[in-house]
Structure 1
């Protein structure tokens, strides 16, 4: 949704202004309606809805490192570790 060469702090106003990055085109097109669906009620009813999209899913080759992993794999690891008898608490990181 953001221009390929956009600065790291992406402004929402820069979305879809340039041709989409080919490697992320399907994701950008899928995300656009969700962004619109959450912003319209916010504008119309004065609420503050947002759309949450975990952009990195987990899988066999993902990174489950305790401190350097993506959010979903980190949560999976922490919940799994909390099931162990020696560690019955979810570590907040």
Structure 2
């Protein structure tokens, strides 16, 4: 049971840390399908499917900035987890 919990915590941490990059991939895919251009400096009008997707694309493309926070947090969690696991292995013997 504890073994599954360990892997769940590691996998959950990785998913949360890499989630902002899913927004970038989604924005790029949606812009490709709709034939729009993503501009980081300003919102471009992008009319597709009867809706202006420009604000959505701009917001989704900017979620990558959260990676500056989540990736170091993931590294800290994984290093802490490695220290805890190492201490458990050392004190078991």
What TM-score do the two structures reach when normalised by structure 2?
0.29
| Structure richer in helix, relative to its length | 2
| Structure richer in strand, relative to its length | 2
Rg (Cα) greater in structure: 2
What TM-score do the two structures reach when normalised by structure 1?
0.29
